């Protein structure tokens, strides 16, 4: 990344905050006020900073000069016991985050197509890259490794011993994610998603040329 990096980091952090607020907001609508009572339904960045997901992981991607940035905010607390249907409630709460990132990507893309020609190049490039990072966040969070959102969706369709065995993976979840990142397995998922977004959202002309060699 070039001069756009600080702007992209700001956009990505805002996106992960929106992702977590969406979880808490849907939980509230379904009957669980835990996140609301703990003051987590706020855009105050301090309330959402996670040492690993908000600081260490993005720093790793910047140091390694990765073309993508992965990040997450401190997860909002959710108590499924407050839901009428706990399993369905957790699935809906989990879906809220990735759907929010999709909406942000579409919103940023709409801004570019409607007003991109009147914006400074650095802002155009930053918005386009931020749109792509939201696609990355969507796909990454839908990977079915506990505790990522995708695992909560998969868990809705599992029962009994299978469900219990699956959710026991959560204690090793971060190690599994970092292992898959290390061997490039997650990149093999993310890059096709990026290419799909660039083509179908028509973002190529808004991105800095250095991204394509």
Catalytic residue numbers? 20
Tokens 């801004």 label which residue?
Answer: 111
On whether the CB atoms of residues 34 and 77 are closer than 8 A, the answer is yes
The number of CA neighbours under 13 Å toward the Cβ of 203 is 30
Q: Is it true that the peptide bond before 71 is cis, omega within 30 degrees of 0?
A: no
How far lies 67's CA from each of 144, 157, 180, 197, 202, in Å?
A: 23, 35, 17, 15, 18
What backbone phi and psi angles, to 5 degrees, belong to 74? -60, 125
């Amino acid at each position: 990344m070039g001069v756009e990096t600080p702007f992209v980091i700001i956009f990505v952090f805002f996106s992960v905050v929106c992702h977590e607020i969406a979880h808490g907001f849907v939980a509230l609508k379904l009957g669980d006020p835990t996140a609301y009572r703990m003051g987590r339904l706020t855009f105050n960045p301090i309330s959402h900073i996670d040492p690993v997901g908000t600081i260490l992981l993005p720093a790793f991607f910047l140091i390694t000069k990765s073309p993508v940035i992965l990040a997450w905010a401190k997860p909002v607390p959710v108590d499924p016991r407050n839901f009428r249907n706990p399993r369905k409630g957790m699935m809906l709460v989990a879906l809220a985050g990735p759907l929010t990132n999709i909406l942000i990507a579409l919103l940023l893309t709409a801004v570019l197509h409607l007003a991109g020609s009147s914006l400074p190049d650095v802002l155009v490039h930053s918005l386009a890259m931020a749109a792509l990072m939201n696609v990355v966040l969507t796909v990454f969070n839908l990977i079915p490794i506990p505790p990522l959102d995708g695992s909560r969706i998969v868990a809705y369709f599992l029962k009994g011993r299978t469900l219990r065995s699956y959710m026991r993976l959560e204690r090793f979840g971060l190690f599994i994610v970092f292992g898959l990142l290390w061997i490039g397995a997650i990149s093999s998922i993310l890059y096709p998603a990026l290419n799909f977004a660039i083509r179908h959202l028509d973002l190529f002309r808004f991105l800095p040329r250095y991204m394509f060699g």
